[in-house]
Structure 1
């Protein structure tokens, strides 16, 4: 069949597809939904004839021909989709030389050709096997999450009485907002037959967290064993199991566990419903997904709480953030109260917090990029992670470890920028056996009970006696030894 120049009367065309095998044909089928201005170029005469029979604008040319684009309209986008690796690379170079403003999307035949195509000028290089794998995994995750949402809804639909929702000790916006969302799902599923009680222990100390609870008028109760016994069902949010950073004893029967911190242990798996996803940036993201999957109308207060929970736990999407976290935040944004969000994020700071931050700055010592500092005795333990957030920003500091003492615990917070180290794993290894510890690659915490020392009056002196051998574990694991730390 002789080469024909179809559509030559047009000065421009939206799409040109070079190579129309099975992948190219499927791409064309999608493009036709957008516009009829698609020109297909392929060297197989029979294939071109078949395409023309289907009313496609197709011509016969070889992708390796230097004049393959001669006489064709100026394209906005060129797809290079043949099964010939070298031909695709050369075609990408040629298209960019002749039409530098055109977008080029090219098919890679193997992983190596991904970089070669980009070097040749392709704006996007796709390896079909990799695209399929990612799409398959994405779909199975969506399917799994959808089934989990329906399983949770089905369980709650059969509940009557009281659901006690336990948040972690010294709760933050992520745990509190997640409890609010679970309550909303429970009320919807049960037709109003289920009453929810949000239960916490410890303190709500951080000024933003206090503003969050006050401005959104969130109803929470200090947990006691008597209240736990009054509940017909128990749920834990933002904590992986009973007794793990929460009031409940290890043998407590729990019906629902939803968290994003670490893999489920055997006790957690004994619950009727367990959804623990360490890859997510916030538990509030998981709860938002449930609301989406179940098509439950989201109240403005709940939406505001969830969005702030995601923002707070990802530190404004700068740490441990996944594309899903961003998608769920985008879903919540138009449903929220922007004025309330502004007020929550601009609270006043207590004098105690300012003094503790000052002590942390003055007392800092740095060795090989590791900063250690003692804030002494604090009534508000949230001052310690606030100090860690501040000090990790100092020049030359890759890891900040801040510690202080309260009435019942020594609290240690760590922040990390060193991509070679997972600070959550280091903290867990260093302090497991003497307290609770763990976290993410960039942020972690440990809590060491004082036990028999809790009645000691001079807490700061007690801290100085206990903390050195405790921190030696951390120093040995990260390899900085017992050398004297240099003051900065």
Structure 2
């Protein structure tokens, strides 16, 4: 006759644990912090006696026995944790048959067991070796991030004078907010001995980005060819944020020495050993997330202006948490949210659209061409290059479109912006392969950009005519890489 529970036991219980080896015992110890309503079932009489000596409700039963659940209370959650693969599978089936509303968490003995347990009805199947590996990697990443934060703080604590923070050309909220956070860290670490200035070249053209800078009253200094040398000479230290190395989409000379690089984009294997501090994490959704982590690790008070900027930076670079998002990005956003000015965020995200932007997007919609799920569109000549990624963001939403490529021409560059929903393709790698030799290109799996300089055509007055001459061979390279046939290429 199976072992039974003491008289007076409730007809309901919160947790039931089937199999109490080393994993099961550790689970039980965690559960009793939450409630005393835990029943343990194991086939080892000695183990059950030991559990009873520790005042646990435990009974001796074989979890493969047909009478396993006879006379037991109804559980809310059942853990199936024995070291026997087949026994766990049978137990899951019996538990779901007897208690269909109970949550079942089962231990897989190998990877094949994961799918078998889920098919049998387990709500969650865990492979302990895999859980350990993921936990170990998570902890080492946190440890590494914490050390990086302290290393940055230590470097800045010894700095005096002026630190120039360099943004990428045509900076976005991620870059700008990251620079603001670095200013705050520099001020705190140096005790006010370090003054930080934020520099950029190009334009802040996107209407939301302009509203972002204006409403938050962010102090940025625009750099031109005439002023860049003088500005750099006035800086004792240089930092790059949201940009991986000098000369990569920023106004710095390629050989310019910098002291700090913080970015979330994949970088080529350049030798960065001469840089005092480097933190490049391609797996993170936004550089603003990295900066928020520094502020958390260093326990630096975040004022409302910086918090609002950082949250918007994360939102903007992850397209409202829908693109290139990681759990860390969400954690940092949750940390920032109560510190932000919600009313100001609403104003930033609801700016008016200029007539020029509306006309350019209308032109892009009119000129779109589609082949096998790929959309290509000519935005034409634009003064505001931010219109091009806006067009790509809009057109990728069309039904049947997996990849949208928008291109346009300004005074000095052809700009190409790509958005991608095809999980089989990394559009950043495609753009890099297609255009790196003739300009700057790269990005993420689902968003990327290229910028082709027009040095040889600087005197050409009709920019739209020039675009039509130059763009065909450029798009042909892209089409060849993604595998569009010759007939489809001819239509691009």
Provide the TM-score with structure 1 as the length reference: 0.98
Tell me what 1:272 maps to: 276
State whether residues 399 and 416 of structure 1, in contact with CA within 8 Å, keep that contact through their aligned partners in structure 2: yes
Identify unmatched segments of 5+ residues in structure 2.
none
Tell me what 2:233 maps to: 229
How many Å apart are 1:2 and its aligned residue?
A: 7.7
Tell me what 2:88 maps to: 88
Tell me what 2:297 maps to: 293
Tell me what 2:460 maps to: 456
Residue 238 of structure 1, aligned match among 238, 242, 247 = 242
Tell me what 2:122 maps to: 122
Tell me what 1:138 maps to: 138
How many Å apart are 1:416 and its aligned residue?
A: 1.1
Distance in 1 between residues matched to 2:483 and 2:11, nearest whole Å? 66
Tell me what 2:176 maps to: 176
State whether residues 377 and 407 of structure 2, in contact with CA within 8 Å, keep that contact through their aligned partners in structure 1: yes
Residue 401 of structure 1, aligned match among 401, 405, 417 = 405
Tell me what 1:284 maps to: 288
Tell me what 1:155 maps to: 155
Distance in 2 between residues matched to 1:218 and 1:41, nearest whole Å? 63
Distance in 2 between residues matched to 1:264 and 1:376, nearest whole Å? 31
Residue 428 of structure 2, aligned match among 424, 434, 438 = 424
How many Å apart are 1:310 and its aligned residue?
A: 0.4
Aligned residues: 488
Look up the SS of the partner of 1:268 in the other structure: coil
How many Å apart are 1:170 and its aligned residue?
A: 0.1
Distance in 2 between residues matched to 1:79 and 1:469, nearest whole Å? 61
Q: Deviations over 1:318-361 (max 9, x none)?
A: 11101111111111111100000000000011111111111111
Q: Deviations over 1:97-134 (max 9, x none)?
A: 11111111111111111111111111111111111000
Look up the SS of the partner of 2:405 in the other structure: strand
Look up the SS of the partner of 2:437 in the other structure: coil
How many Å apart are 1:452 and its aligned residue?
A: 3.0
Give the alignment's Cα RMSD to 1 decimal.
1.5
State whether residues 92 and 104 of structure 1, in contact with CA within 8 Å, keep that contact through their aligned partners in structure 2: yes
State whether residues 376 and 403 of structure 1, in contact with CA within 8 Å, keep that contact through their aligned partners in structure 2: yes
How many Å apart are 1:486 and its aligned residue?
A: 8.6
Which range is displaced more, 365-374 or 436-445? Answer: 365-374
Distance in 2 between residues matched to 1:399 and 1:56, nearest whole Å? 58
Tell me what 1:191 maps to: 191
State whether residues 149 and 293 of structure 1, in contact with CA within 8 Å, keep that contact through their aligned partners in structure 2: yes
State whether residues 153 and 185 of structure 1, in contact with CA within 8 Å, keep that contact through their aligned partners in structure 2: yes
**Does structure 1 residue 364 correspond to structure 2 residue 350?**
no
Tell me what 1:48 maps to: 48
Identify unmatched segments of 5+ residues in structure 1.
none
The within-5 A match list for 1:374-393 is 374-393=378-397
Provide the TM-score with structure 2 as the length reference: 0.97
Q: Deviations over 1:271-316 (max 9, x none)?
A: 1100000000000000011111111111101000000000000001
Distance in 2 between residues matched to 1:406 and 1:455, nearest whole Å? 13
Look up the SS of the partner of 1:432 in the other structure: helix
The within-5 A match list for 1:436-451 is 436-451=440-455
How many Å apart are 1:264 and its aligned residue?
A: 5.5
Tell me what 1:22 maps to: 22
**Does structure 1 residue 472 correspond to structure 2 residue 476?**
yes
Distance in 2 between residues matched to 1:112 and 1:475, nearest whole Å? 40
Distance in 1 between residues matched to 2:274 and 2:449, nearest whole Å? 26
Distance in 2 between residues matched to 1:484 and 1:293, nearest whole Å? 52
